[in-house]
Structure 1
Amino acid sequence: MQNRKPYVRPIHRTWWAETSRFSFYMVRELTIIPLILFTLNLLVGLYSLTSGKAAWESWVAFSASPVVLVVNLLALAGALYHAKTFFSMMPQVMPIKVGQKTVSKGIVVAVQWLVVLAFSTVVMLLV
């Protein structure tokens, strides 16, 4: 009985592609790459802002390149996808009760999107 080998179930590299739920999960996880690139670009922009006018203008020219714009659009799409998945999960993880009744999941999700829209509008008006 000492020499028994435990059963190890083989896992293929594409295990996540077999189920749509896992595929959406992997896509959600991969959206972090453009978000990281976007954040690093902003950090370089902040550094160039403190480095002088020439560095700032160089960063602005770099940020206007088509590759950076595509990465920024991918980052926006990734952030919206994260928000969608998070907002749809929230009513299940933390149901909101008013009195004895649970608030509808659709209302909770709609209110979250309205808050995002209101916050984005305020930020756009300030900029």
Structure 2
Amino acid sequence: MPRTYRPRPSIWWWVRKRSYLLFVLRELSSVFVAWFVALTLALVWSVERGAEQYERLLDVLSNPFAVALNVVALAFLLLHTITWFNLTPKAMPIRLFGARVPPVAIVAAQWAAFAAVSAFVIWLVVG
């Protein structure tokens, strides 16, 4: 049986096309989502252990490397959120009274809920 020629793709194949780049970056963003969850759990754990433990964790997080890591994580979390909201109408079409809800309405409803929850959390923290 003859073998067909298959050229090896470059390791940078995903950089050539915007859609591939976004796909890979979105997949990579999952690592930063996991980082955010771990950080949130560490904060909850340190609060449970007392003020001294919480202050120690805040000292660690004030390190410039930790701040830079969290800024990069924030950027990836925003990318993850935006792409997630934009993909939802494709993954889960909604029908209302037999008619399909327009994708823009689904995305707008998600952003409205996101804004409401964010406002509530800000109110809890600041208020």
- TM-score, normalised to structure 1, is 0.79
> How large is the Cα RMSD of the aligned pairs?
2.3
How many residue pairs get matched?
125
The equivalent residue for 2:56 is 58
How far did 1:9 drift? Answer: 4.5
Instruction: Tell me the distance in 2 between the aligned counterparts of 1:43 and 1:93.
Output: 30
Do the aligned partners of residues 9 and 38 (structure 1) sit closer, same or farther apart at CA in structure 2, a change above 3 Å counting?
same
After superposition, give the CA deviation of every residue in 1:44-91 in whole Å (9 maximum; x if it has no partner). 333333444332211112223333233223222222211211111111
How far did 1:93 drift? Answer: 2.2
The equivalent residue for 1:96 is 94
The equivalent residue for 1:83 is 81
Letter in 1 for 2:108: A
Letter in 2 for 1:44: A
Quick check: 2:94–2:101 contact (8 Å CA) kept in 1?
Answer: yes
Structure 2: where are the runs of 5+ without partners? Answer: none
Letter in 2 for 1:64: S
How far did 1:107 drift? Answer: 1.4
How far did 1:41 drift? Answer: 2.9
Quick check: 2:32–2:77 contact (8 Å CA) kept in 1?
Answer: no
The equivalent residue for 1:118 is 116
Give the share of equivalent positions with the same residue, in percent. 28
Instruction: Tell me the distance in 2 between the aligned counterparts of 1:60 and 1:76.
Output: 18
The equivalent residue for 1:14 is 12
Q: Between Structure 1 and Structure 2, whose CA radius of gyration is higher?
A: 1
The equivalent residue for 2:67 is 69
Letter in 1 for 2:25: V
The equivalent residue for 1:49 is 47
